Amino acid sequence: MQLRCVDCGHAMPADVRYACEKCGGILEVEEPIGTSIGDHAYLRRTMWRYADRLSVADAGAIVSLGEGCTPLHRAKRLEASIPGFKGEIWIKDETINPTGSFKDRLISAAVSRARELECRGIICASSGNAGASTAAYAARAGMDAIIVVPTRTPEEKLTQIASYGALLVKVDGHYSHSYDVAIRLAEEQGLFNVTTTFLNPYGVDALKVVGEELAEQLGGRVPDYVLVPTGAGPLVKGVVQGFAERPGGRLPKTVAVQAAGCAPIVRAFERGEETVTAWGEPQTIASGISDPLIGYERDGSYTLRLVRQSGGLAAAVSDDEIRAAMSDLARMEGLLAEPTGASSFAAARKLIETDRISRDAIVVCMVTGHGYKDMKVFRSLPIRVSHLPAEPDAAQLASVLEAQAARRIKLMIVS
């Protein structure tokens, strides 16, 4: 096992490092050492069932809360809600990961590796989800953790992070400011930096398992499209790499989905450019992908390269389209997703309705984060409520039935 620069190809030992010593480029794990979990019943039901392909040598170092191996649901009611659609829409439900987002996959791998490298503590810059994940896995491992987040992070995410006992550091400004603070603190305090951009190669490496899971869940079929809510892009890499490493290596067209108010990768894609430039001031309800990439633009350029390599595209969705997708996922499929998590379906609907994705395609939407993490958006959506006194009379009871009968919902027949 060693680390290799994705830009210049230089190889380095697999120790604590975050960038190429020659060119500053992104590092990836090459020939991961892997380990055997034997017939460990608990780990077999987590992403560690692929431990032979991950970057931990000692199974005893694994820190797990049950991450990965998430369900893939066929979303027939969503399919029926798109005029003329005859393909398949599948939802990869990452909201059921232990702390409510797919970040648990990365952090489980990175914290396990931190243990193996005998690091004394960990630090993470986060827009909320990676921080919650880091705090939880640090608690499980008995390690100290510092979580650096933008002051404007949703309240639920801040409470979640602090509740796991980590030190929560709020930094004014946007995510890139938190990112810089974490790098400075990591250096000064000798902490392992598990920030979930392309900084930590061990965490990013574990995301390839997502591609593997999808292929297995689809019975070996390769979907036509996988839509991925995208900040810096490690999850895009996970999907592309996961399929690339399978026999045959056929890739789904991978779609990087960003919010219109913070879309550096989409902008470069649409202009036909090869390098991504930083975004000015992010403006979106999708906190999980509100990353302007200032100072690490090369993360965006790398992601763009992977998107093009897969024959995919990059697309932006507005906050209103995201709100509509949150409502659709909740009301038609029983899935509560935070704005970022719902952006993938928002983009799927838009791309199908504008004929950029064909109406007979097999489409997978990565729903990456749980709705509980940002409830204020749901509070702004219309709901149906009836209120009764403690001992309602017959007329009051009847009012509930009237309210129920008055609902104007078109029935859809789903086979």
Ligand X SMILES: *Cc1c(COP(=O)(O)O)cnc(C)c1O
By CB under 6 A, tell whether 339 contacts ligand X.
Answer: no
By CB under 6 A, tell whether 368 contacts ligand X.
Answer: yes
Closest C-alpha to 239, from 258, 253, 219: 253
By CB under 6 A, tell whether 227 contacts ligand X.
Answer: no
Question: What angle, rounded to 10 degrees, do the helices at 129-141 and 103-116 form?
Answer: 40
Strand, helix or coil for residue 316: strand
The piece of 223-231, 272-280, 357-365, 387-395 that touches ligand X (CB under 6 A) is: 223-231
The piece of 7-15, 25-33, 153-161, 230-238 that touches ligand X (CB under 6 A) is: 230-238
> Cβ-closest residue to ligand X?
369
Binding site for Zn ion (CB under 5 A): 5, 7-8, 10, 20, 22-23, 25
79: left (phi over 0), alpha (psi -120 to 50) or beta: alpha
> Which does residue 229 touch among ligand X, Zn ion, none (CB within 5 to 8 A, set by kind)?
ligand X
Strand, helix or coil for residue 269: helix
What is the C-alpha radius of gyration for the chain, rounded to an integer number of angstroms?
22
Closest C-alpha to 147, from 156, 135, 138, 136: 135
- List, edge to edge, every strand of the sheet that includes 144-150: 167-171, 144-150, 121-125, 192-193
Our CB check for ligand X shows the closer of 223 and 369 to be 369
Our CB check for ligand X shows the closer of 37 and 285 to be 285
Backbone angles phi, psi at 73, to 5 degrees: -105, 135
Task: Report in angstroms how near the CB of residue 293 gets to ligand X at its nearest.
Answer: 10
The piece of 15-23, 139-147, 224-232, 350-358 that touches ligand X (CB under 6 A) is: 224-232
Our CB check for ligand X shows the closer of 98 and 234 to be 234
**Which H or E element spans position 275?**
none
By CB under 6 A, tell whether 294 contacts ligand X.
Answer: no
Question: Which residue of 25, 131, 229, 264 would you call a contact of ligand X, by CB under 6 A?
Answer: 229
By CB under 6 A, tell whether 129 contacts ligand X.
Answer: yes
Cross-strand bridge partners of residue 229: 257
> Which does residue 232 touch among Zn ion, ligand X, none (CB within 5 to 8 A, set by kind)?
ligand X
Our CB check for ligand X shows the closer of 253 and 370 to be 370
**Which H or E element spans position 184?**
helix 175-189
Our CB check for ligand X shows the closer of 60 and 295 to be 295
By CB under 6 A, tell whether 103 contacts ligand X.
Answer: yes
By CB under 6 A, tell whether 288 contacts ligand X.
Answer: yes
By CB under 6 A, tell whether 91 contacts ligand X.
Answer: no
Task: DSSP letter for 365, please.
Answer: E
Burial of 1 (0-12, 13-18, 19+ CB in 10 A): middle
> Which does residue 10 touch among ligand X, Zn ion, none (CB within 5 to 8 A, set by kind)?
Zn ion
The piece of 5-13, 20-28, 233-241, 271-279 that touches ligand X (CB under 6 A) is: 233-241
By CB under 6 A, tell whether 341 contacts ligand X.
Answer: yes
Alpha carbons within 13 angstroms on the beta-carbon side of residue 241 total: 20
> Which does residue 5 touch among ligand X, Zn ion, none (CB within 5 to 8 A, set by kind)?
Zn ion
Alpha carbons within 13 angstroms on the beta-carbon side of residue 121 total: 16
> Distance between CA atoms of 158 and 113, rounded to whole angstroms?
26
Residues 230, 258 contacting (CB under 8 angstroms):
yes
By CB under 6 A, tell whether 293 contacts ligand X.
Answer: no
Interface residue list for ligand X (CB under 6 A):
101, 103, 129, 196, 229-235, 288-289, 340-341, 368-369
